[in-house]
Amino acid sequence: MMPLVRFAFGLAVVALVSGGAGTVSAEPSSATRELSAQGRPHIVIRPRQTSPGPNARRYCHSWLQKEYRASGPVITPQMRCWWR
């Protein structure tokens, strides 16, 4: 159901950007390209700078945290780990 809604929304955006013109070109307009570029975040993945070493230990801190969801507040487990 969700992909159909996204497709319909995309068609509506293209129709609004093109101003309802009757002709469709093979090359998207600059406004359409700007809208599509804003829709996706730019993610940069960088490799780890240093390795933890052969004698490193992994330490973890865990806790329970209240999260607010549509069905109401829910307690979820959280964890953060690091190397030393």
User: What percentage of the chain exceeds 90 in pLDDT?
Assistant: 30
- Cα–Cα distance between 83 and 51 in angstroms, integer? 9
Higher pLDDT, 6 or 35: 6
Would you list the DSSP string of 4-51? HHHHHHHHHHHHHHTTT-S---SSPPHHHHHHHHHHS--------SS-
- Total-model pTM: 0.38
Nearest CA-CA partner of 82 in 66, 63, 62, 64: 62
Predicted local distance difference test score (pLDDT) of residue 50: 72
Domain ranges of the chain: 2-19+27-39
The CA-atom distances, in angstroms, between 47 and each of 50, 51, 79 are 9, 10, 22
Predicted local distance difference test score (pLDDT) of residue 52: 79
